[in-house]
């Protein structure tokens, strides 16, 4: 009989859904705020995740405001370097062998000398963190769907320009209730034609239709979140047939009020339909849990066995942009994790 308690932090895995500022350690936020004289609301100083249920307009505004305040504490190259280094360290501690961190460089440009300098600072920090920690690490550049689609096209061209410096994908983030996916189709065409993976957000705050839009209008290879696809059996079959990976973030879904409790997140529905998943932490700064904890949610609240958790880890690796040698190493490590005797 399988032992249910292998250490999830030693299960090799890939992390495909982690936002840049949201990856920050709470202690680092406090130190950077003090360093730059940024006033943090008490909810960000308290050390416990804030109540961020964002299923209405006010809720999302509150979430975005806290994120923007945290981002305003990243003002110097040294701050960026620290954030990326610590994010890599946390991922390594959680068993990640590959991290694709998502960033909209326009958000950091005003304090870092412009768009191109900001992106180069970020990419240099990723290179340094990868060397220092041994973690494979790349960047997904994400456009903001709250801004004009022309800005997304500019970002897509920039992303393609830096594909040889560590940019592997192009995303679309923020409130999916605003802006139609098709408005950004040209930006995604630019990114795809430049060899980048298309990974827009969909199926989080709105239903299955937003996932279909990602597939139909943006030709997504992956979908950020995607959990609401569980409400449409035909869409589930389509995702499974095309092997489109959904970057599912269970703790985030509950924190933002997409689902009331962990048991409601449709991990089982997606898994049993054959839809590949890559569990992600989304914004640990605001949601309070990192990568290994997402696998813990699958074990604790959805009764995933160790064999099933290993398969989730394999799906994360297969859905990544990791080179073949990294994939082989991680997949072999997953097999070893499952085959090894469990320490008593």
Known catalytic membership, residue 204 = yes
Could you tell me which residue, 64 or 179, shows the higher pLDDT?
64
Q: Give the pLDDT mean for 59-81.
A: 90
Contacts of 156 (CB under 8 A, 6+ apart): 141, 143, 170, 187, 188, 190, 191, 194, 196
pTM: 0.95
What is the structure's pLDDT at 59? 67
For 301, the domain range is: 11-338
| Residue 310 in this model has a pLDDT that exceeds 50 | yes
Report helix, strand or coil for 247: strand
The three-state DSSP-derived secondary structure of 282-306 is ECHHHHCCCHHHHHHHHHHHHCCCH
Q: Is residue 2 in some structural domain? A: no
Distant-in-sequence, close-in-space partners of 302: CB < 8 Å, separation ≥ 6: 262, 263, 265, 267, 268
∠ CA 195-201-202, rounded to 5° = 125
Distances 26 to 130, 289, 310 between C-alpha atoms, Å: 22, 11, 30
What is the arithmetic mean of pLDDT over 193-218? 94
Contact 240, 215 (CB under 8 A): no
User: Does the pLDDT at position 36 exceed 90?
Assistant: yes
Distance CA 106, CA 122 (A): 12
84 domain residue, yes or no: yes
Within-domain flag for 4? no
- Per-residue pLDDT averaged across 117-137, rounded? 98
Mean local confidence (pLDDT), 270-293: 96
**CA distance to 35, 141, 143, 187, per residue, from 172 (Å):** 32, 8, 5, 10
What whole-number distance in Å separates Cα of residue 75 and Cα of residue 81? 11
pLDDT in tens, 44-59: 886 655 566 655 556 6
Please state, in angstroms and rounded to a whole number, the distance separating the CA atoms of residues 155 and 167.
12
Mean pLDDT of the 201-213 span: 92
What pLDDT is stored for residue 104 in this prediction?
A: 96
- pLDDT, average across residues 8-36: 97
Question: Would you state the pLDDT for residue 74?
Answer: 96
Domain membership of residue 1 (yes or no) is: no
Residue 37 CB-half CA count within 13 A = 0
User: Which is catalytic among the residues 90, 100, 176, 204?
Assistant: 204
**Closest listed residue to residue 198, CA positions, set 184, 183, 210:** 184
In a domain, 51, yes or no: yes
Q: What is the number of structural domains in the chain? A: 1
CATH number at residue 150: 3.20.20.140
**Residue 343, in any domain of the structure:** no
Q: How far is CA 314 from the centre of its chain?
A: 17
Give pLDDT, residue 270. Answer: 98
- Asked, for residue 133, whether it belongs to a domain, the answer is yes
- pLDDT tier at 2 (50, 70, 90 boundaries)? very low
Residue 220 in any domain: the answer is yes
Distance in angstroms (rounded) separating the CA atoms of residues 316 and 327: 10
Query: Sorting pLDDT into bands at 50, 70 and 90, what band is 1?
Result: very low
CA distance 73 to 204: 27
Tell whether the model's pLDDT for residue 291 goes beyond 80.
yes
């Amino acid at each position: 009989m399988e032992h249910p308690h292998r250490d999830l932090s030693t299960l090799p895995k890939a992390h495909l859904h982690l936002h840049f500022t949201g990856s920050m350690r709470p202690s680092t936020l406090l130190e950077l705020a003090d360093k730059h004289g940024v006033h943090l609301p008490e909810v960000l100083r308290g050390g416990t995740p804030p109540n961020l249920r964002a299923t209405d307009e006010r809720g999302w505004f509150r979430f975005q405001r806290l994120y923007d305040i945290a981002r305003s504490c990243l003002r110097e190259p040294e701050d960026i370097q620290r954030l990326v280094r610590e994010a890599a360290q946390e991922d390594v501690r959680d068993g990640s062998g590959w991290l694709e961190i998502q960033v909209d460089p326009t958000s950091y440009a005003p304090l870092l000398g412009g768009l191109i300098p900001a992106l180069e600072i970020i990419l240099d920090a990723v290179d340094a963190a990868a060397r220092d920690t041994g973690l494979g690490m790349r960047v997904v550049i994400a456009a903001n769907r709250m801004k004009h689609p022309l800005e997304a096209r500019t970002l897509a061209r920039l992303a393609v320009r830096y594909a040889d410096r560590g940019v592997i994908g192009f995303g679309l983030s923020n409130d999916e209730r605003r802006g139609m996916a098709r408005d950004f189709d040209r930006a995604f065409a630019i990114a795809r034609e430049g060899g980048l993976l298309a990974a827009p957000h969909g199926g989080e705050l709105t239903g299955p239709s937003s996932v279909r839009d990602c597939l139909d209008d943006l030709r997504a290879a992956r979908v950020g979140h995607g959990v609401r696809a569980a409400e449409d059996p035909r869409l589930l079959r389509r995702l499974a047939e095309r092997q489109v990976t959904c970057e599912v973030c269970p703790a985030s879904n509950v924190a933002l009020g997409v689902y009331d409790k962990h048991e409601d997140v449709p991990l089982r529905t997606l898994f049993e339909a054959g839809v590949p998943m890559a569990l992600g932490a989304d914004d640990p700064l605001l949601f309070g849990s990192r990568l290994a904890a997402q696998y813990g949610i699958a074990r604790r609240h959805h009764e995933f066995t160790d064999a099933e958790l290993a398969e989730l880890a394999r799906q994360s690796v297969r859905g990544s942009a990791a080179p073949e040698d990294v994939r082989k190493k991680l997949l072999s490590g997953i097999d070893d994790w499952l085959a090894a005797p469990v320490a008593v």
